[in-house]
C-alpha cells in the first residue's frame, strides 16, 4: 500500500467515532439511539435490550458514529466493561423523571469510572444525557436552568465522594471530563445538541 493510501485510510479511520451507550435499564438508551438514526432507519417499536446492538449514523457527512447500545438490566451490567476498549465517547443515560433512581445511576457511573483504569474519563470522554425531559413539568421553558441544576448536583456528588477517588491523584476532573446534555428521545428535543457533544468530544 502506498504512503498516500495509508494516510487516506488513517484519515478515514480518524473520522470513525465509537460511542458506548450505557446507563440503567429503562433510561431510554435504545430510544435515543433510534432517534439519532436517519428517519428511514428508525424502528417503530423499541424493546428492552438483552445483550447489545450496534447502529451507525453519519454527522455532517464527516463523522461516522458507531453506537454500541448495551442493555442496562442489573444482570447485564457486569458485561459493560467488555465494551470499554477503543471507545471514544461514553454516553451515560439517565431518566430525568425518576428521582428515585438517581442514586443508583450515579453510583453505577462513578464505580464504572473509578474501575476503568485510565480509560473512561481520559481518552474516552463522558457525556451524561438527562433523558425524558418531556415528562418534567414546564421542561421546555426551563431547559437550561434544569440542566445547570442537574450538572451542579452531579459534580457536587463527585466532589463529596472524592475522598476515595483514586483518579483524583492522576488528574481525573469531572468538570473537564464530563459534559451534560438534556433531551427527550420521544420528542427529539436536544438530539442535535447531543450530536454536537459527540463530535466535540472527539475533536478535543
Ligand X SMILES: Nc1nc2c(ncn2[C@@H]2O[C@H](COP(=O)(O)OP(=O)(O)OP(=O)(O)O)[C@@H](O)[C@H]2O)c(=O)[nH]1
Number of Cβ within 10 Å of residue 23's Cβ equals 24
Pairing outcome for strands 63-70 and 89-95: unpaired
The set of cell numbers assigned to 11 is 484519515
DSSP assignment letter at 124:
B
* Residue 19 φ then ψ, to 5°: -120, 120
Q: Could you tell me the smallest distance in angstroms from the CB atom of residue 106 to ligand X?
A: 16
- Please select the residue that binds Mg ion; options are 30, 131, 179, 182, rule is CB under 5 A: 30
According to the binding rule CB under 6 A, does residue 46 interact with ligand X?
yes
- Would you say 23 is a known binding-site residue? yes
Q: Which residues are identified as catalytic?
A: 73
CB of 2 to ligand X, least distance (A): 44
72 annotated as ligand-binding? yes
Size of the site for Mg ion (CB under 5 A): 3
Please tell me whether residue 36 adopts helix, strand or coil conformation. helix
- Nearest approach, Cβ of 30 to Mg ion (angstroms)? 3
177 binds Mg ion (CB under 5 A): no
Segment lying near ligand X (by CB under 6 A), choices 65-73, 104-112, 170-178, 190-198:
65-73
Residues 160-199 that bind ligand X (CB under 6 A): 184-186
Helix axes 29-36, 191-202, angle to 10 degrees: 90
Total number of residues shown for the chain: 204
| Shorter beta-carbon distance to ligand X: residue 48 or 171 | 48
Beta-carbon count within 10 A of 62 CB: 8
Residue list 38-77, contact with Mg ion (CB under 5 A): 49
Q: What gap in Å lies between CA 92 and CA 149, rounded to an integer?
A: 17
Q: How far is CA 97 from CA 28, 134, 139, in A?
A: 11, 9, 11
Please select the residue that binds ligand X; options are 20, 65, 71, 129, rule is CB under 6 A.
Answer: 71
Q: Residue 28: how many CB atoms within 10 A of its CB?
A: 25
> Do the annotations mark residue 163 as ligand-binding?
no
Closer CB to ligand X, 93 or 113, in the complex: 93
Report the C-alpha gap between 91 and 89 in whole angstroms.
Answer: 6
Binding segment for ligand X (CB under 6 A), chosen from 3-11, 70-78, 83-91, 142-150, is 70-78
Q: Which residues bind ligand X (CB under 6 A)?
A: 25-31, 46, 48-49, 71-73, 93, 131-132, 134-135, 184-186
Q: Residue ranges for the binding site for GTP?
A: 23-30, 72, 131-134
Amino acid at each position: 500500500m502506498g504512503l498516500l493510501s495509508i494516510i487516506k485510510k488513517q484519515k478515514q479511520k480518524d473520522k470513525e467515532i465509537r460511542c458506548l451507550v450505557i446507563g440503567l435499564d429503562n433510561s431510554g438508551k435504545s430510544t435515543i439511539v433510534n432517534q439519532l438514526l436517519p428517519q428511514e432507519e428508525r424502528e417503530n417499536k423499541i424493546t428492552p435490550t438483552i445483550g447489545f446492538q450496534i447502529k451507525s449514523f453519519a454527522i455532517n457527512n464527516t463523522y461516522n458514529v458507531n453506537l454500541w447500545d448495551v442493555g442496562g438490566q442489573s444482570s447485564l451490567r457486569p458485561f459493560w466493561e467488555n465494551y470499554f476498549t477503543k471507545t471514544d465517547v461514553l454516553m451515560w443515560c439517565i431518566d430525568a423523571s425518576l428521582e428515585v433512581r438517581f442514586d443508583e445511576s450515579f453510583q453505577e457511573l462513578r464505580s464504572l469510572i473509578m474501575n476503568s483504569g485510565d480509560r473512561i474519563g481520559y481518552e474516552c470522554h463522558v457525556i451524561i444525557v438527562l433523558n425524558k425531559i418531556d415528562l418534567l413539568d414546564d421542561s421546555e421553558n426551563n431547559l437550561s436552568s434544569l440542566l445547570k441544576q442537574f450538572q451542579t448536583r452531579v459534580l457536587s456528588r463527585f466532589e463529596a465522594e472524592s475522598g476515595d477517588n483514586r483518579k483524583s491523584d492522576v488528574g481525573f476532573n469531572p468538570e473537564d471530563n464530563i459534559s451534560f446534555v438534556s433531551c427527550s428521545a420521544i420528542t427529539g428535543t436536544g438530539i442535535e445538541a447531543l450530536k454536537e457533544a459527540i463530535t466535540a468530544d472527539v475533536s478535543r
